[in-house]
């Protein structure tokens, strides 16, 4: 990312000094505290679309995730169009004005917009403006790793969140992600630099830590004043303790809790289907009464329905039925039917149904699960 620069903000010559060669620049459609768009005549048709996109993006990053708004000292400026024969790629800069730092986004070819590049440029402007406006000496500012800014940009795109989480969770659950000391390391060697989904989850983790706005402000202040991008410092900023073990624990707990999040209503990611199997066990902490046959390793529900009158199992089945029924909330119809089938088995077990009836219902639920795992629509088993 470019270093912050300085330029005056009046006159066409200042714009020409940026090397953009803009002609006919004019302010359009933005309040003084919001955005200023300067456009070539050929790019004028795209100005409202770009302005709407920029405002919506800022609303997501600042209003929802909690990053500081970038217009504390001046509007964000957008250069739309280029007089060059072959326009360059979307770019950004953080510049010093008369009152403080402000962001600039250059979009040379709005008719061929690269949405991902624009998302990154807008995100970088928001992040870096927030950092530089906390600085007392711009030469000592610590720039955040590019992978983290890209992670924020990915997390800002709601359409990516479900897939990114599943990708990161799969790595974490297979012990393929290192501890905080390595995971948060700056530089291209960081695991997050190689796994964009992981970078997005680290950004999401930061955005989940309350009070989020105050924490983001403290993060910007830390980097703006030259504080190091060091895992221990990040642990202090996001967990209040400069202890990597605490940061690791908070990250682990957050990932596990996030498995219950519905990112795309009506859709069931493969990871959710895989994780459902782990619920087909009964654990001691799920029982509201002591069951001597239930161990910490988990007792298969298949064994439970074959031995429903074993010590305390029928009473424990009621709570398990409620847990299984909840798993289908927000998922597709086939997955909901499958979870409801398993829940009904446990409900009938709690009501005292005989083992034969439970076995028939269990086979039907298992048939639904196999169909769901195969990617098809679940249908009940008409067998024995």
Tens digits of residue pLDDT in 173-206: 999 999 988 999 998 888 899 999 999 999 999 9
Banded model confidence at residue 10, pLDDT cuts 50, 70, 90? very low
Dihedral sign computed on CA atoms, order 281, 283, 287, 293: positive
Burial call 218-237: b when 16+ CB within 10 Å, e when fewer: bbbbbbbeebebbbbbbbbb
CA nearest neighbour of 104 among 128, 86, 88: 128
| Per-residue model confidence as pLDDT tens digits over 246-301 | 999 999 999 999 999 999 999 999 999 999 999 999 999 988 777 889 999 999 99
Q: With 80 as the cut, is the pLDDT of residue 13 above it?
A: no
Residue 264 makes CB contacts below 8 A (sequence gap 6+) with: 162
Q: Which of 15-19, 93-97, 111-115 has the weakest average pLDDT?
A: 15-19
Residue 21 makes CB contacts below 8 A (sequence gap 6+) with: 82, 83, 84
Residue of 4 and 294 predicted with greater confidence: 294
φ/ψ of 49, rounded to 5, equals -65, -45
Supply the DSSP string of 187-235, one letter for each residue. STTSHHHH-HHHHHHHHHHHHHSSSHHHHHHHHHHHHHTT----HHHHH
In this predicted structure, what is the pLDDT of residue 33? 64
Tell me the domain boundaries of the chain: 5-133, 146-258, 270-373
Q: Which of 20-34, 55-69, 101-115 has the weakest average pLDDT?
A: 20-34
Instruction: Please give the model's pTM, rounded to 2 decimal places.
Output: 0.81
Residue 160 makes CB contacts below 8 A (sequence gap 6+) with: 154, 200
In this predicted structure, what is the pLDDT of residue 248? 96
| Per-residue model confidence as pLDDT tens digits over 296-350 | 999 999 999 999 999 889 999 999 999 999 999 999 999 999 999 999 999 999 9
3-state secondary structure of 156: helix
| Per-residue model confidence as pLDDT tens digits over 35-80 | 999 999 999 999 999 999 999 999 999 999 999 999 999 999 999 9
Q: With 80 as the cut, is the pLDDT of residue 118 above it?
A: yes
| Per-residue model confidence as pLDDT tens digits over 204-246 | 999 999 999 999 999 999 999 999 999 999 999 999 999 999 9
- Copy the structure tokens of residue 11: 């006159």
In this predicted structure, what is the pLDDT of residue 378? 41
């Amino acid at each position: 990312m470019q270093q912050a620069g300085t330029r005056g903000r009046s006159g066409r010559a200042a714009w020409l000094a940026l090397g953009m060669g803009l002609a006919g620049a004019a302010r359009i459609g933005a309040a003084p505290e919001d955005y200023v768009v300067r456009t070539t005549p050929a790019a004028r048709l795209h100005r409202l679309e770009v302005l709407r996109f920029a405002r919506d993006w800022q609303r997501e990053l600042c209003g929802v995730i909690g990053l500081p708004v970038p217009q504390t000292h001046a509007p964000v400026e957008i250069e739309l169009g280029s007089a060059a024969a072959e326009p360059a790629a979307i770019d950004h800069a953080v510049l010093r004005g008369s009152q403080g730092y402000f962001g600039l986004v250059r979009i040379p070819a709005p008719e061929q917009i690269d949405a991902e590049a624009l998302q990154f440029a807008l995100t970088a402007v928001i992040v870096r403006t927030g950092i530089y406006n906390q600085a007392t000496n711009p030469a000592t500012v610590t720039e955040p790793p590019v992978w983290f800014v890209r992670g924020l940009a990915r997390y800002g795109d709601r359409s990516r969140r479900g897939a990114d989480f599943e990708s990161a969770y799969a790595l974490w659950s297979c012990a393929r992600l290192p501890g905080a000391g390595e995971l948060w390391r700056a530089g291209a060697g960081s695991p997050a630099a190689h796994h964009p989904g992981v970078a997005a989850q680290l950004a999401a983790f930061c955005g989940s830590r309350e009070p989020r706005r105050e924490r983001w402000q403290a993060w910007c202040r830390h980097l703006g004043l030259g504080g190091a991008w060091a895992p221990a410092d990040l642990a202090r900023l996001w967990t209040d303790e400069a202890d990597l073990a605490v940061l690791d624990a908070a990250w682990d707990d957050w990932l596990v809790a996030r498995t219950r999040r519905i990112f795309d209503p009506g859709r069931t990611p493969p990871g959710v289907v895989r994780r459902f199997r782990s619920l087909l066990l009964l654990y001691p902490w799920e029982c509201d009464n002591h069951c001597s046959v239930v161990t910490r390793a988990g007792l298969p529900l298949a064994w439970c329905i074959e031995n429903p009158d074993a010590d305390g199992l029928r009473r424990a089945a009621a709570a398990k039925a409620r847990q299984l029924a909840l798993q289908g909330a927000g998922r597709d119809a086939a997955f909901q039917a499958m979870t409801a089938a398993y829940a009904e088995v446990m409900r009938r077990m709690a009501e005292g149904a005989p083992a034969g009836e439970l076995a028939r219902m269990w086979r039907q639920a298992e048939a639904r699960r196999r169909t769901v795992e195969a990617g098809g629509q679940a249908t009940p088993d008409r067998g024995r």
